[in-house]
Amino acid sequence: MPLWRHRYTLFSGISPSGEIDAVSGATEAHRFALDPYLQSGKGNEFVLCVEINVPKDSSDDFPDPLLGQPSLLYTCLVDVDRDDPYYLFELTGHGGGDAISTGNVQYDLEMIGSAKKMKDLFLVKLEKSID
């Protein structure tokens, strides 16, 4: 999962090989919770991402028998103030090409074949905090 891996490295400082480049952080009591962002009336929005892949799913454009087609990235924009609590993810890009080395999402989906059929849909239900 090259897209996830690059973001994890950015936040954690742990390289894909498992070596730590540097460590920095707040106190041990520092925590991050979504609860404050799930309160209505504050105009909060955020993007949820799902990256999936199936090894050995090769194609003419991605013939590597082990890696196959690249990972696919699905996203949805969550608007906390929206009345409907359900969100469908949309296919946004993939983790092939230079995404493997740079972590940049590749948006050209023309070369992706059967990998687009790996899932029917991704659905999330937002349950907001009640004040």
pLDDT tens digit at each of 131 positions of the chain: 778 777 777 777 777 666 655 555 554 554 556 777 778 888 889 888 888 888 888 888 888 888 888 989 999 999 999 999 999 999 999 988 887 788 889 999 999 988 888 888 889 888 766 65
Question: Of 52, 55, 126, nearest to 93 (Cα)?
Answer: 52
CA distances from 24 to 4, 28, 84, 118 (A): 20, 11, 39, 38
Kind plus residue range of the DSSP H or E element containing 10:
helix 2-12
Domain limits, the chain? 34-125
Q: Which residues does 49 contact at the CB level (< 8 Å), separation at least 6? A: 3, 73, 74, 75
